[in-house]
Chains A and B, each alone.
Chain A
Amino acid sequence: MYNQYGGAIFGIISRIIKDGMVAEEVLQQTMLKAWKNIDLYNPDKSSLYTWLHSIARNSAIDKVRLKSYQNQQKTDTINPNVHEGRAAKIATDKIDVDKITASLDEKYKVVLDKMYLEGYSQREIADELDIPLGTVKTRLRKAILFLREELKGEKALFIGMLLSLAALLILLW
């Protein structure tokens, strides 16, 4: 579970919690919570990843709402070297993300990022972007439809590569 989804889950937590050390603590709490409550997971309701994501997102949001966390962040702003944070590492795969989302309309991407990666609620996005709730729903859906098409393309490419490799092996044989 950790090996398969740890990176993806940590990416989400790190978008909500900028402090790298605290983000890692929340990742650890998420995995332990999932492990302890695995009996509550119902595969008929969601995939394992979706379930994990929901635990991680809620844990991260709860953490940033804590007064103690907010006070710590204020102290760290005065003394920025206390925790290095993950901002630099987040940028590592930015090229891939940019390549894939290059043709995704910015207005859809903003909604997707805020809701999925940064833990915003529909209402918070609607207020911040000054758009109706219905528009938030529509934009999120459009972004997901775009990702579904991209994913289909990635799979087709992978199968194509496998077939080419198989053909090459047969030829060499």
Chain B
Amino acid sequence: MRLNEIRESGLLELYVLGELNKSEKETVLKAISFFPELKKELTLIENAFLFYAKLHAIKPDDYQNNGIIISSITIGLTALLMLLWQ
């Protein structure tokens, strides 16, 4: 596949979304290794998706933050205890 062909195929956008089947994914990965400039193209696509996601961002409640902190501490403590046990 030529550089412009892969750019215009829409495969890169779907690659970012994880929407490609195995062979399409291989095509994209092969193209990226062959045309390093596609890496920049992928970054631009990722930034565009992130931009759109931020437009639709919703701030979770504060208790959500607390839940994550508590769960993280629990995991950390468990890992520490397991290390000490060994």
Interface segment, one of A69-77, A142-150, A162-170 = A142-150
Q: Decide yes or no whether A60 CB sits under 8 A from chain B.
A: no
Instruction: Give the most central of B42, B55, B67: most A CB within 10 Å.
Output: B55
Chain B: CB-nearest residue to A14: B58
Report the count of interface residues on B (CB-CB < 8 A): 37
Chain B at the A interface: mostly helix, strand, loop or mixed? Answer: helix
Please measure, in the bound complex, the distance between the C-alpha atom of A116 and the C-alpha atom of B9, giving whole angstroms: 18
The SS class assigned to the A binding surface is: helix
Partner of B17, one of A10, A90, A115: A115
Tell me if A138 and B49 are in contact (CB < 8 A): no
In this complex, the interface size class of chain A, counting residues with CB under 8 Å from chain B, is 35 or more
Contact residues of B with A, CB < 8 Å? 8-11, 13-14, 16-19, 42-61, 64-65, 67-68, 71-72, 75
Task: Sample 11 A-B pairs with CB under 8 A, ordered by A number.
Answer: A7-B57, A10-B58, A12-B56, A28-B67, A31-B68, A46-B46, A49-B53, A53-B53, A122-B14, A137-B11, A148-B47
